[in-house]
A and B are shown apart, each in its own frame.
Chain A
Amino acid sequence: MAELLLEILSEEIPARMQARAAQELRRLVTERLTGAGLAFSQARAFVTPRRLALVVDGLPKRQPDAVEEKKGPRLDAPVRAIEGFLKGHGLASIDAAEVRETDKGTFYFAVKRVKGQASAKVLPGVIAESIQALSWPKSMRWGETRFAWVRPLHGVLAVFDGRRLAGALELGNGAVLTFGNTTRGHRFLKPGKFRVTGFADYEAKLEQAKVILDPAKRRAAILKQARQKAARAKLELPDDPALLDEVTGLVEWPVVLLGRIEERFMDLPPEVLTTAMRAHQKYLALTDKDGNLAPRFLVVANMESADKGKAIAAGNERVLRARLADARFFWDQDRKQSLAARTPRLGDIVFHAKLGSLDEKIDRVQALAVEIAGYVPGADKDRVRSAARLAKADLVTGMVGEFPELQGIMGRYYALADGEHPEVADAIAEHYAPQGPGDACPGAPVSVAVALADKIDTLAAFFRIDEKPTGSRDPFALRRAALGVIRLIVENQVRLPLRRVVESAKGLIDHTLLKRGSQASLSRTVPGWGEIDTTVLAVLDFFADRLKVALRERGVRHDLIAAVFALGGEDDLVRLLARVEALGAFLGTDDGGHLLVAHQRAANIVRIEEKRDKTRYESADLSNGKLVQVEEKRLAIRIFNSESDAQEALAREDFTGAMAALANLRGPVDDFFDKVTVNTEDPDLRANRLRLLARIGETLNQVADFSKIEG
């Protein structure tokens, strides 16, 4: 058994692409190894900013011998067919072919025994092909070569069983990169070349050459040093796994250094400080014990210097100082003009070419938010109106121009500086939320109203101009917006009549479109909804789809969802979910499970008999006078009672009560099936009993479409 070590040395690979590239290299090489009949015990990939590495253990030194068999013509086939077969497979005479019996007769076979090659002969091709097949999000050419890679390539180290593999990578235009058994260390600390004989040797020598190969080890080293620095400064290091991953991809030899932030910047909003540190400079922020930002930061350098990083830390402090001076300039300038005075400039920002400016969007959002406020308990309409008007005004401030990540957040600060009500300020900050499953969902009434209005306007607007998401394409993040609406409604239990609100949104958009001379809209008649505008219907269907996905992700059974959605015409998501929940609970009970079985039995009988008789058994034609047996009479009475009880409960939105009313059917239904023969001789009695069975289904279907539920 032998080991293959591969390293691709290049110029600096963007941090965000590294992890995927390492996995991709592993996949490409191992697939080809398997294809070449080379089994292995394990394959591990590593990546640093300058190198992709792969080690494959337990490879054989030779490919196993292989036998290739090709079936030829029958023994009694025409001579020409047999000659063609011999020629096609390079057989000298008919004696070279084997004769074999199969279930379909006797055939000639061409059998070729292929001797396995030395692995060292096969591997160079595997490696070259894998490198060529590796794709990057963006790749480039360099010099006079034709080859495309993420950045210029400098070397391919390929060592098998301790020895360099003879091979090369064609770069085009006559350039080749010959495989070697040497690599280089850290760009500045140990730039020299050295030779390696295998993975253990490679990893150890790299470490001596100031390169930690394994990203997991680099990450752990950064975390350890960062915690030490923080502890020494008596500060806390907040968790930031994404930033930690990113800096891991920016260094080969991490050295964590502590820097200071001047006190004069500490009165800037903390979000400004962290954005300047984190997004732009990749610095780790530190806090005191109470979670307040401390005037210190950590920078992860890729360098050990003679002065123990003094000059490096000072340089980084200076850069941060310049950035914060910029931020201070914007902070002071921006507060000289109120947000309200800025809103006209939103007219210069295009929301979408067909949908007008942001100013026009804000007009719509404002009107819609005030309407929605009527359904959000505690939402003050005047504050909703102000918050909607000011929601996007910070987009035309200097600070958000410089730090776009701070949209909304700066709006809150500036609104408070303008003396706006805190609820208004919070709503400005929160109206973009929730942006993803991990994002907190606003709960303050004014925020909820504005957040809903902004998202519903966006959805209705893009559906109105037929810019719906397709497949994986969702350029306007409409799926995220719909999920945001669902979360806002569900988590705050907002009883929002979605149809009416989407109709209002669509009406407001029509007004925008009309100013641009756009076409009229269409409507159609749909079961459950009646006559409905096609845009509104598409938006409601989109909500339904997203809700189904969200429920499935929460582990709710898809058939329960289908059973409730099949009722149609429901646009109150809170009610809809209560129904799904009650149904799930009901089916979990003994009564529920039993009733489901009874429903299926009844429905099956009715369906079979309807098909045989080519007629429909309508429960409306049920005749009480033709109920003769005591069990069928009892069942009919119980259905009547359960139905009215269930209806009453439904009117109170007491779905559990409605299900309980249905549960009362269980005994009489069981008795009916035990004692009553449906297919009796008397055709009238038989038809009536079938109608009674149909009635059971209808009764249950008031609560959910039981036919969609899988037993």
Chain B
Amino acid sequence: MILKLQDYWAERGCIILQPYDMEMGAGTFHPATALRALGPEPWRCAYVQPSRRPSDGRYGENPNRLQHYYQFQVLLKPSPPDSQEVYLGSLKAIGLDPRKHDIRFVEDDWESPTLGAWGLGWEVWCDGMEVSQFTYFQQVGGIDCDPVSVEFTYGLERLAMYVQGVESIFDLDWDGVPKHNGGKTYGDVFLQAEREFSAYNFELANTETLMRHFADAEAECAKLLAAAPPASVPLPLPAYDQCMKASHLFNLLDARGVISVTERQAYIGRVRALAKACCEAWIESRRVSAPPAAQAAK
């Protein structure tokens, strides 16, 4: 399925990237989406990204919830006029023929308070099941997107469940090899991790350490953007790494249930401030260093 999606999108001008090597709550956080959606340069990419959502863990007991799962992410900038058609083509490529199923675009506005980002679009339903998020980005880091990008996010496990017709994520056939020949299921690969990480996320993570790490990441991010000696210019990419780190630490703290509702708003505000500063620095850096073609595109 991943290969088919990669082929499909590569044929449509997307560069195929690999997962970013950091914990993040959604594929949108990948700098290839979050930062590249800003500024005037055209950009098309597709990649798989593991997503970690500590509070979605269910100790492997819920057949539909995971604290770690995979998203396939596509970003097209600017959004083409036939965005819906090319998206539907990708469903066909993975075996969901829109003429045999009931595909629906159901209102769902997307917002990421920590990224300071929002967009309008839909959940795409296939026979009542959400198979993708389809979003036209309007702002990232509180900055208007111009031109506007369109983002497609596929929930890979859910799609695979649909295609394979299984009821539990953990029953997904991973390799197509029969069980008695040593074939592996999703559960064989990830069930233990789900149990252990759920316990860690909800019960065991040391909250004092997490809070300290959060503050460290926040400070490091600010330092990298300040352009004070020893760095001579702001470094938005390493700074943004720290921002993602802070965001994940916040998610862990949230799952541990140690953040009250009011504090929660304050934490979100702090991550958003980092994201905004990184985005601004990123745009500025591209303005200075972008190749002439991008300059001309303005």
Contacts and interface: CB of A to CB of B under 8 A. Distances in A.
Given A144-B147, A301-B102, A349-B261, A14 B127 contact: no
A100 B79 CA distance: 63
Nearest to A351: B261
B128 A320 contact: yes
Contacts of B148: 140-144
Contacts of B107: 12, 14-16
Interface string B90-116: 000000001111111111010000000
A432 B148 CA distance: 43
Contacts of A318: 127, 129, 162, 167
A152 interface: yes
Nearest to B259: A348
Interface of A: 11-12, 14-16, 49, 138-144, 150-152, 154, 188-189, 250, 281, 283, 299, 301-303, 305-307, 311-312, 314-316, 318-322, 325-326, 329, 348-350, 353
B96 to A, nearest CB: 10
Contact of B136 (A152, A188, A326): A152
A139 B58 CA distance: 37
Contacts of B122: 12
B79 A142 contact: yes
Contact of A311 (B100, B257, B262): B100
A143 B128 contact: no
Given A12-B105, A138-B109, 15 more contacts: A140-B136, A143-B148, A151-B121, A152-B79, A152-B83, A299-B128, A305-B101, A314-B127, A316-B128, A321-B167, A325-B62, A325-B64, A325-B167, A329-B58, A350-B261
B183 interface: no
Given A138-B109, A315-B127, A318-B129, A143 B62 contact: no
Interface centre among A49, A150, A299, A319 (most CB of B within 10 A): A319
Contacts of A321: 167
Nearest to A314: B127
B104 to A, nearest CB: 6
Contacts of A312: 101-102, 127
B296 to A, nearest CB: 15
B126 A315 contact: yes
A188 B97 CA distance: 10
B232 interface: no
Contact of A325 (B63, B81, B262): B63
A318 B130 CA distance: 12
B147 A319 contact: no
B262 A353 contact: yes
B175 interface: no
B222 to A, nearest CB: 27
Contacts of A140: 119-120, 136, 138, 148
A143 B80 contact: yes
- Lowest 8 CB-CB distances: which A-B pairs, in order? A315-B127, A14-B107, A12-B105, A316-B128, A350-B261, A301-B102, A319-B128, A303-B102
A146 to B, nearest CB: 9
Given A154-B81, A318-B129, A322-B63, A302 B104 contact: yes
B129 A319 contact: yes
B284 interface: no
Interface in B117-166: 119-122, 126-129, 136, 138, 146-148, 150, 162
Contacts of A349: 261
B89 interface: no
Contacts of A316: 102, 127-128
A240 B148 CA distance: 39
B257 A348 contact: yes
Contacts of B121: 151
A209 to B, nearest CB: 15
Contacts of B84: 11
B127 A319 contact: yes
Contacts of A14: 107
B224 to A, nearest CB: 32
A141 B138 contact: yes
Contact of A281 (B79, B99, B128): B128
Interface centre among A14, A142, A319, A325 (most CB of B within 10 A): A142
A382 B100 CA distance: 60
